[in-house]
Each structure stands twice: as structure tokens, then as C-alpha cells.
Structure 1
Amino acid sequence: MSLAWTMVRHRFAAFAGTFVAIALGVALVAGACTLWASSRPQAPERYDSAPVLVHSPAIGKGTDGYPDYRSWTPAEARDKADQLSTVPGVTAAVPDPAFYVQKLIKNRATGDPEASRTAGHAWSSTKLGGYHLTAGTPPSQPGEVALQDAAPGETIDVLTAAGPEHWTVTGTVDGPGFYLSDSAAMEQAGGVRVIGLTGNPQTSAITDLVFAGSERDKLEDESVTRIRWLGAQLIIAMVTLGVFVAVFVVASTCALSAAQRRREIGLLRAVGATPGQVVRLMYAETLVVAVLGGAVGVPIGALAAPLLASPLVNAGLEPAGFAVTLQPAVLAGAFLLGIIVALAGVWSSARRSSRVPALDALRDAAVERRAMTVPRWIFGLLTAAGGAALTVALPSLPPTTQTTAALFAAMLLLVAAALLAPVVIVPLVRLVTWPWRGGATGMLVREGTLTGVRRVASTAAPVLLTVGFATLLTGTIATIEQATRIDETAKLPAVEVAAPDNTPGLSEAAVAGQPGDAPLRSEMLMTIGGTTGAYQVTGKSDAKGVILSRDLTDRPKRVDVVFRDGTTATLPVTGTHDGPAELADVPRALLREHDPQALADAVMLDGPARAEPGMKVLTARQYVTGLVDEEGQIIDLFLVVLISLTVGYTGLAVANTLLMATAGRRTEFRALRLAGGGTGHVLRVTTGEALLAVAAGTLLGGGVAAAALLGMRRATEEELRQSVDLVIPWGQAVPVVLICALVAVLAAGAPVFTRKQSRNGGF
């Protein structure tokens, strides 16, 4: 270990790339995992003064893995609250009906649409949050409300599931939400799923579903849970990409370092070092660098994480009020992961170095011995064959799977191109440099590149992967989004659509009397084949009973259902539909009767619309574009983050490769200066070689991505049976290439300037 420390201390420049890669990787993992660990589910603020929450019965789990619950009817909730109030230690048992409400300002709905689904509550629910009346009196009659930002006596306009209403403010409370009288809130909500207990309840005396202590956090609002889930997906993608690319950069750096130290390792073998000692030396050197890199990366990640909290909240990936907390276990894990990543990256180079013969200490040639190893040949040819075979088989695959298969084939071909780059680069360089073969600089660039194929391949490979993946992913998403707009617009039976305007759906008043059908959306429990589960339900005017999916193999003649308000019924099955098995249709009037909170997604207009609050009229194209863009914004954000990380690591890999390679060519450039070449000539050679490597990587990566996009467009056209334009993401690909080129030129030229300043060790 002392020898390893001495080697790192005296030749730190050779390990700088590994150090930076590990430091940045550890910082990324530490910061991202700190954000993830800080973003844990939390019970809603309105339950802060209720140490125990009793939930309505759970009936199995849905396809999303979360429990399906049966609501209590208002009468059942009151009876259950009376029973729970007798439990020792309970001071109050309060049902918490929740319902949709948004405040209207100038006839426009305000606030977060999803959070507004549970913004309304009963006045007695204020006990659960510890809220108090600061002015006025509690609401007692229909049309009266108490809320935070209003004075007693004011009249406010609100939007509920029934439609616009005028409420009189009777009191001001010191907590968020809209609070109606208990009877009015029960009527609005329909069913109840939570009863909060205040005081110090003895949970052992309660036989119902109880959430106490940290278990209360499982009752976080669904709208908040969805936001946390989106943020978690981005963080997982960041960590996965960071670890993968860090291993790639470390492996590339160590491979190049081992190649440059071949004579040095040969000397160690000549003086008696065994292969095992060489392996242990390289592991020890990497371990020293990894410890130093982790020691730098951990505090960087810990300090950067709090700075990202606000941007994540603004992007809708974390809920409002999200705060980052110190996570010592996460930081320790990131430090250990950095060491593991570093040792994994050096594994191949250490094994290769252990086989260096002692005779190599007597050799001194700039020509690389072998650019391709046997494992590289094997994996390169296997991935190329797999990608080519999958591409050829695309036309015979089902249309619904062709797009995914084309994407997978492209990824295989990109990996194959990176592995086989040393073989492909030679003819590519000859072709590209053919017009400049007669000039001195062109000849030097051409021959220097052909001589250092391994160096060029190490520079081109990260550029190839970055340009290829960036072009492929952004082009695929843009093409699919365009195709989706065309397909979904063609499905709409209307020219114009009445759509929600900053609301989670359309109220009953908004759709009543509109020229067109407006199905309601809700959820109910159904028992089919002896299994009870939650089904997404559409309330349609033309439905006479329950309409189930054709995918259900055991369709009964009648089904037992539990509506959203907790009431039960047995309904006849009157037909089938072509949708997924978890969807069902029921009569619209029946659904409205048992779910006063049900909203409509939109109205397909067949005549002039009547203006209503919370509604806007769009063309069919605008409506579909809005739906696609809403999902696309999250996807675009993911792409920006992931591509930025990839470009950052690519720049690091390119810079590190060229810095080490150029610094190792001192003898070559000294000979060029002795032959009459100045610093400008040397810079032109290094710049030309750097740009040539970036161009080779760009052509290979872009070519594979373009071919894959063409196949994907063909598959999409066959699936939709209509023409689809190919979208080439020039706006994303060109900046990636320019950044790689700039980094390559600067990294290749930096050692030249450094040597020029140091005349004693100059070229």
C-alpha cells in the first residue's frame, strides 16, 4: 500500500481522470440518494393532532400494488366513530370526509388541480389537524364555509363536482382547506375512509385497520405520492446512469494508463514482480484514488442536495414543502459505492497488466501492439449480430412490439459500434482524411491517428454512445409523440372538445346541457370469479348495466359491486368492450348517484358549447396535443437531466483520454519541433486528431441512431396504418457534438501549452 501511495502521489496526473470520475460519481450518488431518502411519505398535515388513524377495510390489492379500500357510508362512519369514542384514551373520534373544491377568481379555478380533490372537509375535522378558529363562528348551514384566507362575512365563489357555488365565510381558521358543516361535508363527499382519533388511544382495543406512529405516513394523499414517485424515478435513473458511466470512465482511464505504463510494468516484472503483485499494485493504486475521490465527492453531494430541493418542487417532482435532511447512512453508502465502482473499473486493466512480459521493458515503440482483445472481439461481434438479426426480423414481428424491438436493436448496435470502434475507425479515417492526404499537417494527422487507433477509439467511443443515445432517445420520443397526436386526433368523434381548465375534470354543471356526451370517471369494487378488486369505471349514458372487458375469461351474468360511497349492489352484465380487463362501464346516472365526486374528462362537442367555469373549448388537435404535451413535459425533463449527465461524463472521458494521451506523446512532439515545427504546428496536429476522433464517433453513433429511427418510423406507420414524419432531433444532437468537440480540442491542446511554458521539460 505504501508503494501505491507513493505512485499516486508522484504521478497524480496519470490518475487525475479516475479521481475526477470517482469524485463526481460519488457526489452524484450522494446528492441524489440524499434527495431520495429525504423524500419519504408523510401523513397529511390535516392529521397532525391525530396520533391514530382508523381506515375503512382493505379488500385485496390492485394491479398497482396498493391496497383497495371499501368506503364507509356516512351512516356507517358515524356509527363507527361512536364505537371508537369509547376506546380508552380517546378524547374524540372524528370522521374525515374529503371532497373536491377549488376557489374561483374571475370565474377561473385556482390552486393545484390534483391537490384540490381532497381540499374540502367537515368542520369537526379541524380537531385532527389542531386547527383553531381565529375569527367568526363555525359553519352550521349549507352554503357556509370556514377557511384560512378570508374574513367572516365575505362571499366566495367556488367550484365543486356539482358545479359553481357561492359560499358565505362564517369563520377564519389557522390551517389550509375548506371546512363545511359536518352534514354538508358528508353530502359532498359521499363516503368516508378515515376516522381520526385524538388523545392517547389504546390501539390494542381497536379491531379495525389502524395506522399509528410512522404507519400514518402510508395515508399520504395520492396526488403527493404520485409526485414523489416521479421524483424517485428521475433519481433512480440518475444514480443508475452515474454508476454505469463512472465504471465506463474508470475502466477507460485505467486501460489507457496501463497501456502507457507497459514498459514500467515490464520493468517491475524484470526485477521479479509476480503477476499477482502487479494486480495488487493496480488495485491498491485505484483504492487510494477512490478513497481520495470519495472524500471529495461525499461533501460535494451533501452540500449540493439542498440546493436541488427548490428546482425539484418547481418542476413538479417533489411536493410543496419538501426539505432535504442530512442522511449519514446514505453518504457512507455513496463512499463505499465509489470504492466498489473504482475497483470494478480497474479489474480488466489489472488482469491485462499482470500478463505484460518482462521483455517489454526493452521495447520502445509508439505503434500499438493490438487494439482489439479477444473478449472485445467476441462481445462486439455478438452484439452486432444480435442487433442486425433483430433489425432484419422487425417486419415479421407484431406491429405493437416493433417499436420496442427497434429501440433494443439500436442499443445493441451502438454497443457493438463502441466495442468494434478500433476496427471501424481505420477505414473511416482513411476515407475522411483522403482529401487532405497531400499536406504535411493532414499527413501527420492521418498517420498519427492510424498509428494510435486505441487512443482514437477511446476518444470516439464515449462520443459515439452519447451522440447515438441522445439522437435515438430524443428522436424516438419526438416521432412517437407526433404519431400519437395524429392517431388520437383521428379517434376523436368531434371537431371541438370541452376540456378542463386548471381543474382535475369537468363538473356536472359544466357538462349538463352541452351538445355532446361526457362520460364520468370513477372507481368501484367488483367481485368477479370470487376475487374482489378495484376497477376504473366509466359512467356512460347508453349503458344499461355493467359492461366488462372481453379480456376477462370468466365473465359472470351478474356482479356484486361496492360504490365509491360505500353502498353495495348486484348489477347485471349487459355487454363487453375491447379495453383492458381493469376497466368497466356502468350507467351514468347510477354512478352519479353513488359518487357525487365523479368528474368528466371532457365533452366531445357536436354543436356550439356553453361557457362554464373550469372549462375551455379546444379543437380536437389542441386537446390531444395538450394531453401529449402534459406527459411529454416530464419525459423531456428526464431526457434533459440524463443527457446532461451523459454529456458531462462524456466530456470527462474525452478530456481525460486526450490529456493522458497527449502528455504521453512528448517524444513524438519533440521530434516534430526539432524538424522545424512550431507550437502552432503541434496544436494543428492535436486539434485535427481530436476533431477526427469526435467526427468518427459522431458518424458512427449518428449513423446507427438514424438507421434505427427509420426502422422505428416504419414500425409506427405499420401500427397506425398512416404516414408518419421522421423527427431528427438536431436541436439536441448538434449541441452534444459541439460540446464534445470543444472539450476534445481543449484537452488535446492543454499539454502542449503546459510544455511550452515549462522550457526545461519542453518538446
Structure 2
Amino acid sequence: MSLAWHMVRHRFGGFAGTFVAIALGVALVAGSTTIYLSSRPEAPERYSASPVLVRSPSVGKNSYGEPEYQSWTAAEATRLSARLAALPGVTAAAADPVFYVQRVVAGRPTGDPTDALLDGHAWSSARLGGYRLSAGTPPRRPDEVAVDGAAPGSRIEVLTAAGPATWTVTGTVDGPGFYVADPAALTMSSGVRVIGLTVDGDAAQVATAARDVVGAAGEVVAGHDRNSLEPAAVTRVRWLGAQLLIAMVGLGGFVAVFVVASTCALSAAQRRREIGLLRAVGATPGQVRRLMYAETLVVAVLAALAGLPLGALTAPLLAGPLVGVGLEPAGYTVTMQPLALAGSFVLGVLVALAGVGAAARRSSRVPALDALREAAVERRAMTPLRWTAGGATAALGAFLLAKMPSMPVTDRSTAGLGAAMLLLTAAALLAPVVIVPLVRVVTWPWRRAAIGMLVREGTLVAVRRVASTAAPVLLTVGFTVLLTGTVATIDGVQGAADADKIPAATVLAPDGTPGLTEAAVAAQTGTSQLPTRVLITHGGTTAGYYAAGPASGSGMVLDKATAAELRASAGDGVDLRWADGSTSRMVVRAVRAEAGPGMLVPRELVRRHDPAALTEAVLLSGSPVAAVGARAMTARDYVQADLDEEGELVDLFLAVLIGLTVGYTGLAVANTLLMATAARRPEFRTLRLSGASGGQILRVTSAEALLAVAVGTMLGGAVAVASLGGFRAAVEAELSRPVPLVIPWGTAATVIATCAVIALAATALPVMRGTRAATG
């Protein structure tokens, strides 16, 4: 280890690339994991003064994989609250029925539409958050409300699921939300799912006693378990942020290994004479391997120690932007996470050791005499392992592309993307094979010029250097063209395909609200569905929660999939538990073949059992009627609005991942060229003695760098475009319509230009230093 320390200290320039790659990788992982671990579920603020909460029982999971909870009816919640309030140590037990309400100012809904779904509460539940009146009196009538930011006696315009309303403010409350009289809240909400307890004794003892009272009718949570009551919408936001962080950590770790491996391989190639001398004086292959591992360990520890504070200090600065783009909920803050820092340190060291493994094994196998004999000659770029791995990935990628036409339509897109990634990997591994003919073709017009000849011949005898520079460019350009081309190609047809499925030219859609009110829908001429959640049971089989919509007649209509899962057919009776907790039995009137909601029932039945339900859209058959929180638009614009909303997140993910890839690619290119160019100082000295000027040498090396970038660009672009062609064919078969291939050339050009600028800068610096030293 002492020898390794001295080697690193005296030759740190040769380890600079590894140092920077590991430092940045550790900073990225430390920052990302700190952000991730800081983003944990939290109980809603409105329960901050309630250490014990009781929620309704779980009845399975929804389509998102989240637990679904059966509501208590108003009567059940009232009875259970009274029993819980009688427990020793309980000062109050309040049901918390929630419902949609949104403030209207100057005819426009205000506030966050998603938050508005949970903004309505019963006045008695205000105590669960410790909220009190700062002025006025509690609400008692159906049209009265206590709210923050409004003086008692004033009147406010609001939207509820029923439609616009005007409420009189009776009191000013010191917390968020709209608080109405308890009976009014129960009529506007879809049952009750939470009862909160305020206590003046030991919360753990109260929780134990409450469990005996509740039994199987609910679940009692206390302490940190209260965080499981975080709203599903907030949890989904955290999930989106987690996906980006996981992708960043995975991609960062993979590319860091690639950079470290490339750096170590090039460093080992440049140190053949030194390694040969060590072997000649008696160093065993094991000692050579241990030396390289020890050197890398020293660099990794120093780099990790440098990267940890960088990641820890950067993470809190990203909290605001993450909330702003919708990847973390409002109020999110980053806290210190020692486990994240410790794990990042260990991961950084392991990544470095993994990256040096191949170079260490290769160096230890070279006999002393061979190493000395090959010291001035570049070894072959293609090893048997590289041939095998490259050939295998190329064959597998080609096999997937060839088999795509015979695959099920739904599997073709996935197979196309998998084939593209395999072919990109194969191109990177087999790049040295095609570099020689490609360089000859590209440099053919300048083969007789002095600089052109030097570039051509210098490149042809340094295939390893060119491949080391071209490989990261190849992967980055291919990755960029593939991802952006895939997204752009799908976006180009998805909107039109979805719009074709809407049997109306004009759609009434929500405008600043989470859905359309009943009043807005009733004023229109057209068709719509009112989604709700219903638990369906038949013959001992529970199908789960399904959306319900309009149907004529007294019975219900099931879709084919739901009927098959329930083993139900027309004429059978099924048991239903509605969103408000009530139960009923209905007869299946028909089973429809077309896809759609799991069941259809009369709209008035849905409204009766789900007072808080909102309509997603109305397919208009007549002229639209103006309504608060609604706007008319074409079917194409309606679909495009949804696509644009999703596209913003997709674009953000692409920007982060491509930016991260380009950053590491720039590091790999710069490090390769810095090391390779610095090792060519004797060559530059010879050129100067032969009469070449510093400018001519700079033009030669710059042309070589650009040539390497061009080779990587052509290989990566060719593989990506060919793969996109197969992907487009799969999408055409899936949609049964022509699909134009869209490639965002602007993004690709920006990435290529960035790689070229970095390559030129990394070449120019050591060349100018070397030529100055030669003249000095």
C-alpha cells in the first residue's frame, strides 16, 4: 500500500480521470440517495394534533398497486367515534369526512386542483390538526364555512362536486382547508375513512385500547405508522421523483464503471514498460494485480472523500426545483442522511475496484520480456474476450430485430428497444474492427496533404486510442438518438390515435379543476361517465374496485374481463359495496365485449353513493354551455393536453439522463485524450525538430480528436437509426396506421457538438504545453 501511495502521489495526472469520475459518481449517489431517503411518507398536516388515528379496513389494492380502503357510512363512523370518545385518556374522537371544494375568484377556480380534492372537512375534525378559530364562530348551516384568509360575515364563491355555491364565512380558522358543519360534510363526502383521536394521556395505551374497540372494523395507527395515511396523490409524486433518482444512480454507477475501466485500461497500456520492469525484477502477476488494485483503492478513497461533501451540500439545493417540477410534494425538505453518505462511500470504492479489474488481470498476464518488447508498440485492440462479447451481443440484437415481425404486437416495442441497446453495446465493443476502414474512407480526400497524411496514419496505428475516445461518444449519441427518437416518434402518432377513439369532435374538459361538476355536466348536451370505485363480489370472488359510469335501465352492465373474473353472466346477482360504504345487490343485465369501465350503472345511482365524484369530460353532441371550471376544445386538443402534461415529465427525465450521460462522456473523452496526448510529447518533440510548427501539431491532434468523435457519431447514429426503423415498424403494426420516423436532430447535434468541443479542449491543452516545453 505504501508503494501504491507513492505511485499515485508522483503520477497523479495519470489517475486524474479516475479521481474525477469517482468523485462525481459518489457526489451523484450521495446527493440522490440523500434526497430519496429524505422523501419519506408523512401523515397529513391536518392530523398533527392527533397521535392516534383509526382508518377504515383495507380491501385490496387498486390498479396502481396501492391499498384501497372501504369507507364507513356516516352512521357507522358516528357510532364508532362515540365509542372511541368514551375511552380513558381520549379527549375527543372526530370523524374526518373529506370532499372536493375549490375557491372561485373572478369566475376562475384557484389553488392546486389535486389538493382541492381533499380540502373540504367537517368542523369537528379541525381539532385533529390543532386548528382553532381566530375570529368568529363555527359553521352551523349547510351554506356556512370557517376558512383561513376570510373575515367573518364575508361571502365566498366555491366549486363543489354539485356545482358553484356561495358560502357565508362564520369564522376565520388558523389552518388550511374549508370547514363546514358536520352534517353538511357528511352529505358532500363519499363516506368516512379516518377517525382521529386527541388524547391527554399515553398515546400507546390509548392505541391499544382503541384496537380492542375497533376490532376488524378498522385499523388503529399511532406514532410513525400514522405516515401511512399520506394521500395517494402525494405518494405518487414521491414515486415519480424516486424513479428519476434511481435512474440517475443506476446510470451514474454504470457510466462511472465504464470511465474508470477505460481510464485504467489506457493507463495500463501506457505503463507497459514500467510494468515490464517490475516483472523483470521479480514482481509476480499477483503483485502486479495487487499494486493496481491498491493504486485504485487509494484514488477511490480520496475521490470518495472529495465527493461526499459535494453531494451532501448539493442535495438541499435541489429540494425547491424538485417541488417546482412536481417530483416532490409541497413542503418537502432535505435532511442529513448518514446512511446515504456511508453507502455512497462504499459504493464509490467498489465501483473503482470493479473498473480496474480487467486492466489489472490483463497487465498481470503479460510476461516481462513481452512487456518490454511491446513497450513502444500498441498491442492489438481486440482481445478474445472482446471478440466474444461483441459478437454475442451483436448476434442477440440482430436476432431480436429479425424475430420482431413474428412476435406478438404488444411485445414488439420492448423487443425493439432491447435490440437497440444490445446493438449499441456491440458497436462499442467491436468499434476497433471498423475503425480502420472507416478512417480510410473519411480521410481519403486529404490523404495526400501533409496534415491529412499525418492524421490518417497516426490514427490507423493508434486504434486503441481512437476506440477509447469513440466508444463513449458512440454510446452517448446512440443513446440520445434512440431515446429522443423513440419518444418523438410515439408522440407524433399517439395524439392522433387517441383522438380517433373519441367519438366526438368537441369535448368539454376541466379548466383549472380536477374534474367537471354535476352542474357543468347537466348543462351540456352530450355523453359522459361519472367514475367511482365499487367493490364487486360474486360467488365468494371479490373482483376489486372498478370504475362505474352511465347505463340505462335498472340493472348493471359488466365488461367481458370483469365478468370473467367474477364468473358472472347476464341474470346473475352481485353484491356491491359503494364508495360511501353502503351495500346493495344488483342484477347483471348484460355483458359487453368492448373495453371500457369494469361496470356501468345509472348515473344517478353513482351520484347517490359517491357525492364527491367528478366527471372527467363530456363528449359534446351540441353547442357547449359556459360553466365555471370547464372549457370546450377539440378532441385532438383534449388528447394533446394530456400528452403535453405527461410529456413534460418525460422531457425532464430525458434531459436529466441525457445530461448525465453527456457529462460522463465528456469526462471519459477528456480523460482519454488528456492522457493519450500527454504521453505523445516525445512524438511532438520529434515533429518540432522535423520543422513542424506548434500550430501544425495542434491542427493534427485536433483533427485526430474530431475524427474520433466523428467515428463514434457515425457508429452510434447508424445503430440508433437502424433500431428506430425496427421500432417504428413495431409501432405501425401495433397501431395499424403509418408512423413517420421522427429524429430530433437538434438534440443530437447539440450532444455531438458538446463532445467535439470537449475533445478539442482536452487535446489542445496538453499539446500546447508539450510544444512549449519542446521549444523551451
TM-score normalized by structure 2?
Answer: 0.96
1:176 to 2:176 alignment: yes
1:2 to 1:127, Cα distance in 2 relative to 1, 3 A: same
The structural deviation recorded for 1:722 is 1.7
**Distance in 2 separating the partners of 1:660 and 1:173:** 67
1:123 to 2:123 alignment: yes
Which one of the candidate residues 236, 245, 248 is aligned to 1:226? 236
Equivalent residue runs for 1:49-60 within 5 Å: 49-60=49-60
One-letter identity of the residue aligned with 1:512: A
**Distance in 2 separating the partners of 1:234 and 1:403:** 22
**Distance in 2 separating the partners of 1:663 and 1:570:** 82
The structural deviation recorded for 1:758 is 3.7
Residue of structure 2 in register with 1:471 after alignment = 481
1:689 to 2:699 alignment: no
1:506 to 1:543, Cα distance in 2 relative to 1, 3 A: farther
Residue of structure 1 in register with 2:764 after alignment = 749
1:580 to 1:67, Cα distance in 2 relative to 1, 3 A: farther
The structural deviation recorded for 1:543 is 6.7
One-letter identity of the residue aligned with 2:75: A
Report the secondary structure of 1:522's partner residue: coil
Deviating more after overlay: 65-74 vs 293-302: 65-74
Does the CA contact (< 8 Å) of 1:483 and 1:716 recur in 2? no
The structural deviation recorded for 1:634 is 0.7
Deviating more after overlay: 252-261 vs 366-375: 366-375
Which one of the candidate residues 440, 449, 454 is aligned to 2:459? 449
Which one of the candidate residues 698, 718, 724 is aligned to 2:733? 718
State, as a whole percentage, how many aligned pairs show the same letter.
62
Residue of structure 2 in register with 1:134 after alignment = 134
Equivalent residue runs for 1:86-165 within 5 Å: 86-165=86-165
**Distance in 1 separating the partners of 2:404 and 2:34:** 43
Does the CA contact (< 8 Å) of 1:550 and 1:581 recur in 2? no
Which one of the candidate residues 514, 522, 536 is aligned to 1:526? 536
Which one of the candidate residues 696, 700, 710 is aligned to 2:715? 700
Does the CA contact (< 8 Å) of 1:519 and 1:541 recur in 2? no
1:174 to 1:224, Cα distance in 2 relative to 1, 3 A: same
One-letter identity of the residue aligned with 2:66: Y
**Distance in 2 separating the partners of 1:577 and 1:418:** 52
Equivalent residue runs for 1:353-392 within 5 Å: 353-363=363-373, 366-392=376-402
1:628 to 1:542, Cα distance in 2 relative to 1, 3 A: farther
The structural deviation recorded for 1:530 is 2.5
**Distance in 2 separating the partners of 1:549 and 1:162:** 28
The structural deviation recorded for 1:584 is 2.9
- Unaligned runs of 5+ residues in structure 2 are none
The structural deviation recorded for 1:546 is 3.3
1:247 to 2:257 alignment: yes
The structural deviation recorded for 1:553 is 4.6
Which one of the candidate residues 591, 597, 601 is aligned to 2:612? 597
Does the CA contact (< 8 Å) of 2:146 and 2:170 recur in 1? yes
Residue of structure 1 in register with 2:72 after alignment = 72
1:11 to 1:544, Cα distance in 2 relative to 1, 3 A: farther
1:544 to 1:735, Cα distance in 2 relative to 1, 3 A: farther
1:564 to 2:579 alignment: yes
**Distance in 2 separating the partners of 1:743 and 1:492:** 49
**Distance in 1 separating the partners of 2:237 and 2:727:** 31
1:206 to 2:206 alignment: no
The structural deviation recorded for 1:58 is 1.6
**Distance in 1 separating the partners of 2:553 and 2:253:** 53
1:32 to 1:578, Cα distance in 2 relative to 1, 3 A: farther
**Distance in 1 separating the partners of 2:599 and 2:458:** 69
The structural deviation recorded for 1:669 is 1.6
One-letter identity of the residue aligned with 1:78: T
**Distance in 1 separating the partners of 2:455 and 2:591:** 70
The structural deviation recorded for 1:395 is 1.5
**Distance in 2 separating the partners of 1:21 and 1:486:** 44
The structural deviation recorded for 1:365 is 5.5
One-letter identity of the residue aligned with 1:100: Y
The structural deviation recorded for 1:154 is 1.1
Residue of structure 2 in register with 1:405 after alignment = 415
Residue of structure 2 in register with 1:629 after alignment = 644
1:20 to 2:20 alignment: yes
**Distance in 2 separating the partners of 1:366 and 1:289:** 27
Does the CA contact (< 8 Å) of 1:518 and 1:603 recur in 2? yes
1:649 to 2:664 alignment: yes
1:396 to 2:411 alignment: no
One-letter identity of the residue aligned with 1:638: F
Which one of the candidate residues 493, 498, 501 is aligned to 2:503? 493
Does the CA contact (< 8 Å) of 1:263 and 1:360 recur in 2? no
The structural deviation recorded for 1:717 is 1.7
**Distance in 2 separating the partners of 1:351 and 1:530:** 63
Which one of the candidate residues 608, 624, 627 is aligned to 1:612? 627
**Distance in 2 separating the partners of 1:239 and 1:536:** 37
**Distance in 2 separating the partners of 1:452 and 1:671:** 17
Does the CA contact (< 8 Å) of 1:60 and 1:533 recur in 2? no
**Distance in 2 separating the partners of 1:618 and 1:187:** 33
Does the CA contact (< 8 Å) of 1:45 and 1:129 recur in 2? yes
One-letter identity of the residue aligned with 1:555: R
Deviating more after overlay: 63-72 vs 100-109: 63-72
Equivalent residue runs for 1:515-594 within 5 Å: 515-528=525-538, 530-532=540-542, 534-542=544-552, 544-551=554-561, 552-556=564-568, 557-578=572-593, 583-594=598-609
Residue of structure 2 in register with 1:9 after alignment = 9
One-letter identity of the residue aligned with 2:17: G
One-letter identity of the residue aligned with 2:90: V
The structural deviation recorded for 1:76 is 0.5
One-letter identity of the residue aligned with 1:69: Y
1:398 to 1:142, Cα distance in 2 relative to 1, 3 A: same
**Distance in 2 separating the partners of 1:186 and 1:554:** 32
**Distance in 1 separating the partners of 2:770 and 2:173:** 72
The CA deviation string for residues 714-751 of structure 1, in whole angstroms up to 9 with x for no partner, is 22222222222211111211100000000001101110
The structural deviation recorded for 1:516 is 0.5
**Distance in 2 separating the partners of 1:12 and 1:360:** 27
**Distance in 2 separating the partners of 1:290 and 1:335:** 9
One-letter identity of the residue aligned with 1:19: F
One-letter identity of the residue aligned with 2:660: L
One-letter identity of the residue aligned with 2:457: E
Does the CA contact (< 8 Å) of 1:548 and 1:555 recur in 2? no
Does the CA contact (< 8 Å) of 2:529 and 2:616 recur in 1? yes
Stretches of 4+ aligned residues off by more than 6 angstroms: 579-582
1:280 to 2:290 alignment: yes
**Distance in 2 separating the partners of 1:106 and 1:538:** 34
Deviating more after overlay: 738-747 vs 712-721: 712-721
Alignment RMSD (CA, Å): 1.5
The structural deviation recorded for 1:67 is 2.3
**Distance in 1 separating the partners of 2:280 and 2:593:** 75
Does the CA contact (< 8 Å) of 1:669 and 1:682 recur in 2? yes
Does the CA contact (< 8 Å) of 1:658 and 1:748 recur in 2? yes
The CA deviation string for residues 545-596 of structure 1, in whole angstroms up to 9 with x for no partner, is 3333323354222221110000011122233345779833332221111001
**Distance in 2 separating the partners of 1:270 and 1:580:** 76
One-letter identity of the residue aligned with 1:408: G
The CA deviation string for residues 191-212 of structure 1, in whole angstroms up to 9 with x for no partner, is 0000000013422112331110
**Distance in 1 separating the partners of 2:592 and 2:657:** 40
The structural deviation recorded for 1:32 is 0.6
1:297 to 1:607, Cα distance in 2 relative to 1, 3 A: same
The CA deviation string for residues 233-292 of structure 1, in whole angstroms up to 9 with x for no partner, is 111111111111101110111111111111111110000000110110001000000000
Report the secondary structure of 1:114's partner residue: helix
1:257 to 1:190, Cα distance in 2 relative to 1, 3 A: same
The structural deviation recorded for 1:759 is 5.1
The CA deviation string for residues 622-652 of structure 1, in whole angstroms up to 9 with x for no partner, is 1111011111111111000000000000000
Does the CA contact (< 8 Å) of 1:505 and 1:600 recur in 2? yes
